[in-house]
Chains A and B, each alone.
Chain A
């Protein structure tokens, strides 16, 4: 049970950091961390299929799309 609480606290903290970070790239990194962490929660709860799909879809595809849009965003280009 303690593993579940650790994973949940990490998920909440990384979600807060993802929402509050000024830097778009950092907030995407925290979002990736959150997604993998949620996959870990599913894995701990023995729902292996959902866990694999969580990694496959969110960490694999959605984060790639978000990174692409970050790459093309005005704020990121101005920072460069």
Chain B
């Protein structure tokens, strides 16, 4: 292949990146010389989304610390950088320098693997979020028919790492944390999936793109307010932040499943948790508030605004609410959220049957 054709293919790839928003999985139908262009576009998009998710995590951690300090009448981080903005980077350097401690009785392999099981699905999930559909600010990396299913599938893998980490530590507190994490998972997974099913019924598609375009007139929060409440509570539960922070409840179990973790492994758990918070805020914004739909601003800006609203609600619940008891939590999951999500599914099935033209 000569240089001219190569450069043309890169140009073609950039044009594709700006206007059309999917990278085909099969390269059938693509001219042979343009595979490289498609590959480059795919790599660039994935790297962009990875950078975006990392930046989102850093911003959320900074905002969380400042906000928490404000609520508790403190100043918060204020030494490194302007207003303490570089504190997180300093913290990362501190964590990297720390001694790498693995308890002698721990299961070494599983102990090492666990943080990545939390971290990787979060990054993979960010690739599937539709950040916008028009103009330059267009970061939908993949668009195929089952994106929302894959998003939720990745979100169900992440808590597995917490259980494995707690089990591998061979520590009473970690074991309790893992047990509670498992119970909480099972309690919240079914209502969460059922309320997602009702969204899929209304939109008539498994694709996140179609779910957003179905909400161009009425966002799904209006017909499905019950489902929204269930899904939102389940999202708070899946992140294990207060009031549902039983897996790592600081005052009873030292810090639950992450008791034995220190250094960068703890840092990866931490980043994974905050990344999960950002991911779940974006998912709620996509499936209930209409994602990128909105006047004046480009789509990505709208999605980030909506996501930030949910992130602030998560942080507010983290800072201000007390912890519930484990039996109350499971009772809520199985006895209240599950029936509510079933009722919501019936309501949305009725809407889809009789008022199908609305969406």
In the complex the two chains form, what is the Cα distance from A61 to B157 in whole Å? 9
- Asked whether B167 lies within 8 Å of A70 as measured between CB atoms, the reply is yes
In the complex the two chains form, what is the Cα distance from A63 to B181 in whole Å? 13
Q: Which of B154, B160, B186 has the most chain A CB within a 10 Å cutoff?
A: B160
Cβ-based interface call for B352 (8 A): no
Residues of B within 8 A of A28 (CB): 164
The chain A residue with its CB closest to the CB of B183 is A68
Cβ-based interface call for A14 (8 A): no
Q: Which of B152, B157, B168, B170 has the most chain A CB within a 10 Å cutoff?
A: B157
- Asked whether A46 lies within 8 Å of B105 as measured between CB atoms, the reply is no
Cβ-based interface call for A71 (8 A): yes
The chain B residue with its CB closest to the CB of A52 is B149
- Asked whether B109 lies within 8 Å of A26 as measured between CB atoms, the reply is yes
Residues of B within 8 A of A80 (CB): 105, 170, 175
Cβ-based interface call for A15 (8 A): no
Separation in Å of the B167 CB from the closest CB of chain A?
6
- Asked whether B110 lies within 8 Å of A49 as measured between CB atoms, the reply is no
- Asked whether A63 lies within 8 Å of B179 as measured between CB atoms, the reply is no
User: What DSSP secondary structure best describes chain B's contact surface?
Assistant: helix
| A: number of interface residues (CB 8 Å) | 28
Per-residue 0/1 for B151-166: is the Cβ within 8 Å of any A Cβ (1 yes, 0 no)?
A: 0111011011001100
Cβ-based interface call for B99 (8 A): no
Residues of B within 8 A of A64 (CB): 159-160, 163, 182, 185-186
User: What DSSP secondary structure best describes chain A's contact surface?
Assistant: helix
In the complex the two chains form, what is the Cα distance from A64 to B159 in whole Å? 9
Cβ-based interface call for B146 (8 A): yes
- A56-B152, A61-B189, A80-B105 known; A68 and B182 CB under 8 Å? yes
Interface positions, chain A 7-44, Cβ under 8 Å from B, are: 23, 25-26, 28-29, 32, 36
In the complex the two chains form, what is the Cα distance from A26 to B108 in whole Å? 10
The chain B residue with its CB closest to the CB of A44 is B25
Cβ-based interface call for A4 (8 A): no
Separation in Å of the B301 CB from the closest CB of chain A?
29
In the complex the two chains form, what is the Cα distance from A71 to B180 in whole Å? 12
- A23-B107, A60-B189 known; A68 and B26 CB under 8 Å? no
- Asked whether B26 lies within 8 Å of A59 as measured between CB atoms, the reply is no
Separation in Å of the B142 CB from the closest CB of chain A?
10
- Asked whether B150 lies within 8 Å of A71 as measured between CB atoms, the reply is no
Separation in Å of the B197 CB from the closest CB of chain A?
12
Separation in Å of the A34 CB from the closest CB of chain B?
14
Cβ-based interface call for B206 (8 A): yes
Residues of A within 8 A of B186 (CB): 61, 64-65
- Asked whether A67 lies within 8 Å of B107 as measured between CB atoms, the reply is no
Residues of B within 8 A of A25 (CB): 107, 110, 164, 167-168
A–B pairs, 18, beta carbons within 8 Å: A25-B107, A26-B109, A29-B113, A29-B164, A48-B144, A48-B146, A48-B149, A49-B145, A49-B149, A55-B154, A55-B156, A55-B157, A60-B157, A61-B189, A64-B160, A64-B185, A71-B163, A80-B175
